[in-house]
Amino acid sequence: MIIRIAQIRVTPVSRQLQANHKRLMAILDEVALHQPDVVITPEGYLDGYVAMDPTVTSETIADHAIEPATSVYTRELSAWAAAHNAWFVLGCARAAPEGVYNSAVVFDRSGQIAGIYDKTHIQTHDVKYVPGTGLPVFDSDFGPFGVMICADRRWPETVRTLALKGARVIFNPTYGFHNEKNRRMMQTRSYESEVFIAFTHPAQSLVTDANGEIVLDETSDAVDFAIVDIDLSKVDEGRAGPSAHLRDRRPDLYLT
């Protein structure tokens, strides 16, 4: 099954939710012409990844967080997703009674919130957030998919867990490093767990396939988004092949 992915490629402004949202909606007017199945923003797009702002503390970060169920921003994105029959993955700071999460809000094609993923691997500036507690997969018309946020990708267990749960593609909103080491890492993560990964960064749109090959690597400053088609049947072929990694694992030998 072939799906079309749109990756937003702009750098948001810290603490400027309204301005970031307005720019996103303008870009989505162009994105809509390509009829994507899935749209992904970078990590913390809506708030400009405020955790990196030294003036924002764990006590004040809630001032820049939203409640997805009631936010005017998510309401407009919900309407866009429904109007254009597209899934949408929005990076934002999410307010909750226990604190603020670094989240990805997932909208389905009808514009409903299908679920939320909260970043699980918290270090350095991210200690201002509450860490997530699960690695869910989301059911869709193109099969199960996973979401991970930025540094989550550095732990192979993240990708492996999502793949074992059935994900054939993982959407990866991010704001962190995007150098050659990262390219090699993403190729390895895809190869070892036989899964597509869509690494979505303000400065780079990188997609790697289940063979560890680079499908897209867009870094031009001249674009606000990147479009790519991926064939999820290639994952099924690889996982059923003679050298399949997931099928031929030896969990009886591994530490957990």
The model's pLDDT over 178-232, given as tens digits with 9 standing for 90+, comes to: 999 999 999 999 999 999 999 999 999 999 999 999 999 999 999 999 999 999 9
Q: Can you read off the two tokens belonging to residue 113?
A: 């919130």
CB 102 within 8 A of CB 51: yes
Residue 256 has pLDDT above 80, yes or no: no
Domain boundaries along the sequence of the chain: 2-233
Whole-angstrom distance, CA of residue 189 vs CA of residue 211: 10
Residue 40: burial class (beta carbons within 10 Å; 0-12, 13-18, 19+):
buried
| 3-state SS record for 218-243 | ECCCCCCEEEEEEECHHHHHHHCCCC
pTM (two decimals): 0.97
Whole-angstrom distance, CA of residue 75 vs CA of residue 88: 12
Tell me the pLDDT tens digit for each residue of 55-100.
Answer: 999 999 999 999 999 999 999 999 999 999 999 999 999 999 999 9
**CB atoms inside a 10 Å sphere around CB 247:** 12
Q: How many distinct helices (H) and strands (E) make up the chain?
A: 5, 12
What value does the mean pLDDT of the chain take?
97
Residue 10: burial class (beta carbons within 10 Å; 0-12, 13-18, 19+):
middle
CATH, domain range 2-233: 3.60.110.10
The DSSP output letter for 165 is T
